[in-house]
Amino acid sequence: MVVSQDDTASRVGAEIMRDGGNAIDAAVATAFALAVTYPTAGNIGGGGFLVYRPAEGDPVAYDFRETAPGRSFPGMFMTDGEYNRGIHHNSHLAVGVPGTVAGLHLAWSEHGSLPWQRLVEPAVTLARDGFMVSDALARSLAGVLPRMADHPASVAQFSKQGEPYQAGETLRQPDLARTLARVAAEGPAGFYAGETAELIAREMAAHGGLITRQDLAAYRAVRRTPITGTYRGYDIISMPPISSGGTALIQMLNILEGYDLAATGSGSAATTHLLIEAMRRAYADRAQYLGDPAFNPRMPIDRLTSKAYAGELRLTISLERASVSSPDSFVWPTEGNETTHLSVVDGARNAVSMTYTLEQGYGSKITVPGAGFLLNNEMGDFNAAPGLTTETGLIGTGPNLAEPGKRMLSSMTPTIVARAGRLVMTTGSPGGRTIINTVLQTILNVVDFGMNIQEAVDAPRLHHQWLPDQTRYERWGLSPDTLALLAQQGHTMVETRVQGAVSAIYNNAEDNVLEAAEDRRRTSAAVGF
């Protein structure tokens, strides 16, 4: 089974397994296909994380998060003493050194079974010969074109001489096809050296960006040990720092394990209050402690993910009143939304959970001329400036300030759940800082509330991230009575349209059938055989 946000890409992954490939092979092929067919977040110009649980042996995590160029520094997003959001998120200075190609290749080199070129070739074909533009992609491209106006290569790539593509038309990307062909033939060298690297460096130099050929040549994906925890007898396997996802997820589950959520019920005011308070505390600790482990070697991960610490935090939660989040204190009283996720499980029950991104939709909106791929704006995930922590949500804590070679903190939370040695589910979502809470609620829906995987994905979601001190909930997700009770407790509730887009697979051990969920909040496609 393959679940991604694009039907063509999911079918590419399923076909790889039909041809004898395993879950890693299918994930790699799906990811490269998404770089062609789902340009809002599928990418080779961004980065992400992959968690792999083999049917036999220990799980492993692959970190291919972008890194800061060699000339980066903590105050680089300030202009004349003031924070400049445009530089931080919408400029060539916002582009981090991409990691996707290196990360996919590292995972394949250690666990793949089919030839590398076989996995990249479907994406080459899709880019060269083209694919039919769906209604969703046509609307997405039409919406982003005005924001691409300053980047001629992007307009040329994603429009017909400035006119939006219509559903049913064919989108061909010959420059991208040539870049992917180099990657297929040469592996990472086809991206981080030679013609592709020269094209990236030339674009950076021409527009004040920082990435050089030396930055590209120095990039390395990192093999890491997954962060693990337990929740009501289930094993939780997720991404360690530089992702904050696994740490915060396990911390929240540990807090919530002390309450009988099944008794209070899904969507009740009592359960919602507890979710908000757990989220608030985990996100505050995220801001205070988490960053690139190479630059923050003393992060208290063991403490943050311990049952004992969760017990201490539960003592600070009132069952009657909301806590107050403040930028001035982490003491309690007595990330861009357009990411994409894919899940893969093969016949042997090897499982992959992978989330990768360009940060915002279509990243920086900058297409590398002659190379045909969009660049990320992941430098926007570094904290804005030293000491700049505000009630509106800007964070200025030290662990996640920009420095040369540093990886920016992420909320991506690719997660696999097991029990008694058996795969239970693989899950993850896009959604910036909401990702962690989306994954949390999907797991709770299965474990505590007895939902099947489609019900768990369909269920309403909410999000609190410490600052700003408000809870966003999906429209119609909470009853008027529940909202009134939460307001009485002191919660500020803000309605939002949708949160996340989960790609999840459940392993039904009773009949050895894989059950997948398509998230109808956005495009989603499950393909199995």
Catalytic residue numbers read 339
β-pairing, 493-496 vs 471-474, is parallel
Residue 512, Ramachandran bin (φ over 0: left; ψ between -120 and 50: alpha; else beta): left
Question: What residues contact residue 155 under an 8 Å CB cut-off, 6+ apart?
Answer: 145, 148, 149, 162
One-letter amino acid of 263? A
The position carrying tokens 């592709």 is: 196
Among residues 313, 305, 307, 310, which one has the least CA distance to residue 246?
A: 305
| C-alpha triplet 105, 358, 435: angle, nearest 5° | 100
Nearest-angstrom CA–CA distance, 167 and 138: 6
Q: At what angle do helices 7-18 and 116-129 cross, to 10 degrees?
A: 150
Q: What radius of gyration, in Å, describes the C-alpha atoms of the chain?
A: 22
Among residues 106, 99, 467, 407, which one has the least CA distance to residue 243?
A: 407
The position carrying tokens 């959970």 is: 353
CB atoms < 10 A from the CB of 517, how many?
Answer: 24
Does residue 46 contact residue 378 with C-beta atoms inside 8 Å?
yes
Does residue 177 contact residue 372 with C-beta atoms inside 8 Å?
yes
One-letter amino acid of 39? P
Q: Count Cβ neighbours within 10 Å for each residue of 442-457 and write b for 16 or more, e otherwise.
A: bbbbbbbbebebbebb
One-letter amino acid of 291? G
User: Facing residues of 228 across strands?
Assistant: 237
Locate 441 and state its tokens: 């609620």
Nearest-angstrom CA–CA distance, 152 and 161: 10
